[in-house]
Amino acid sequence: MADSNFVDYIKIFCRSGDGGAGSAHFRREKFIPKGGPDGGDGGRGGHIILRGNNHLWTLLHLKYQRHVSAGNGGRGGAQQSSGAYGKDIYIEVPLGTVVKTAETDAMLFEITSHDEEKILARGGRGGLGNTHFKSSTNQTPRFAQPGEKGVEGWFIFELKILADVGLVGFPNAGKSTLLSVVSAAKPKIADYPFTTLTPSLGIVSYRDNKSFVMADIPGIIEGAHEGKGLGIRFLRHIERNSILLFVIPADSNSIPGEYEILINELGMYNSELLDKKRVLAVSKSDLLDEELKDEIRNELPGIPWVFISSFTGQGLWALKDVLWKVLNDIQN
């Protein structure tokens, strides 16, 4: 059963606040029985605002919050007093959240940094009070503007995990085991297909107190871009990774063949994924002797590669060194 604590797709109805009506009040005091207009403006309606939070990694907290409404603006008052602003509503989301309109599926914006704020639904403007409408020909305007209506609609929140390195491979390639030994992440590990049903993030410690983030993505199968297996649901998470680390086991029937299938699936889903830097880790290499390694070396694709074993620790530091070098090359 999938881990219900990971939610990466939510549809929410949002409604911003209506603007408050302007006031059509006139000044009335003891010795000024017929003063001029002094109606104040209505207050702005509340916004619905998304705010990035790097302590969140899922949209689970929004799963049962399907309707969000901001406060309405207050009415204008006498003596040109403005109405109160409607209460803004803040929705905290994990970094990598993409927001779309449900009606057209058009992307509105994305949240990629901590405390970044974007207005999803802008509150209606408050109406002008009657003081704005006084003129030489109309010194006693007995009307004011109503407040502007707020915005409402259904919106889609999609989470695309932000990570430096994304693990790509078939089910049972050893991705989860690799993540568990190079970081503090504890993904579910077992010897059957689709053990990983949700993405997992881990912080990989490097030399001199440096670190980078690695993401384990559920296994891809041939035809994933058409909706087969579990891959299609999680392929979007790979879009946010700086490096794609292909993990192919040493006991594979054909390492180049599996690599080409994986490349094809990524390209069919989104051709821009093929522009990302790639590294190959040949997992379960403790099963190989030097003669077999020599045979495999001659057929490996022309990208940086490392023989590794999560069981014995073979090649793990060499892999970190390669990944760190490629990351620095991207950033520089």
Domains of the chain (ranges plus CATH)? Answer: 1-159 (2.70.210.12), 163-331 (3.40.50.300)
Q: β-strand 277-283 against 305-307: which pairing, if any?
A: parallel
- Which pLDDT belongs to residue 183? 84
> Which tokens hold the place of 8?
């990466």
Collect all residues with Cβ–Cβ distance below 8 Å to 4 and sequence separation of at least 6. 60
- Which pLDDT belongs to residue 222? 57
| Position 166 pLDDT exceeds 80 | yes
DSSP letter for each residue of 104-128 = T--EEEEE-STT-EEEEEPPPPPPP
**Which amino acid is present at 316?**
L
The maximal CA–CA distance of the chain, rounded, in angstroms, is 107
Collect all residues with Cβ–Cβ distance below 8 Å to 232 and sequence separation of at least 6. 224, 225, 226, 269
Whether 186 and 201 have beta carbons less than 8 Å apart is answered as: no
Instruction: Tell me the pTM.
Output: 0.70
Give residue-wise pLDDT tens across range 237-277. Answer: 778 788 999 999 998 889 999 999 899 888 888 888 899 99
| Position 328 pLDDT exceeds 70 | yes
- Which pLDDT belongs to residue 177? 86
Give the Cβ contact number of residue 136 at 10 Å: 5
d(Cα 76, Cα 78) in Å, to the nearest integer?
7
- Looking at per-residue pLDDT, the higher value among 90 and 232 belongs to 90
The alpha-helical segments, DSSP class H, found in 170-285 are 175-182, 231-238, 255-269
List the single range of 17-26, 185-194, 199-208 with lowest mean pLDDT.
185-194
d(Cα 281, Cα 274) in Å, to the nearest integer?
18
Q: What average pLDDT does this structure show over 282-298? A: 90
Distances 300 to 167, 259, 293, 304 between C-alpha atoms, Å? 18, 9, 10, 9
d(Cα 204, Cα 213) in Å, to the nearest integer?
6
Q: How confident is the model at residue 231 (pLDDT cuts 50, 70, 90)?
A: very low
Edge-to-edge strand order for the sheet containing 9-15? 67-69, 9-15, 152-159, 97-101, 107-111
Q: How confident is the model at residue 223 (pLDDT cuts 50, 70, 90)?
A: low
Give residue-wise pLDDT tens across range 61-70. Answer: 998 888 999 9
Whether 199 and 240 have beta carbons less than 8 Å apart is answered as: no
List the single range of 98-112, 119-133, 203-217, 303-317 with lowest mean pLDDT.
203-217
Give the up-direction half-sphere exposure of residue 134: CA atoms within 13 A in the CB hemisphere: 15
Give the Cβ contact number of residue 203 at 10 Å: 15
- Which pLDDT belongs to residue 332? 60
Whether 153 and 88 have beta carbons less than 8 Å apart is answered as: no
- Which pLDDT belongs to residue 278? 95
Whether 229 and 223 have beta carbons less than 8 Å apart is answered as: yes
Give residue-wise pLDDT tens across range 29-83. Answer: 777 777 789 999 999 999 999 999 988 888 889 988 889 999 999 999 999 999 9
d(Cα 224, Cα 214) in Å, to the nearest integer?
22
Give residue-wise pLDDT tens across range 105-147. Answer: 899 999 999 999 999 999 999 999 999 999 888 888 999 999 9
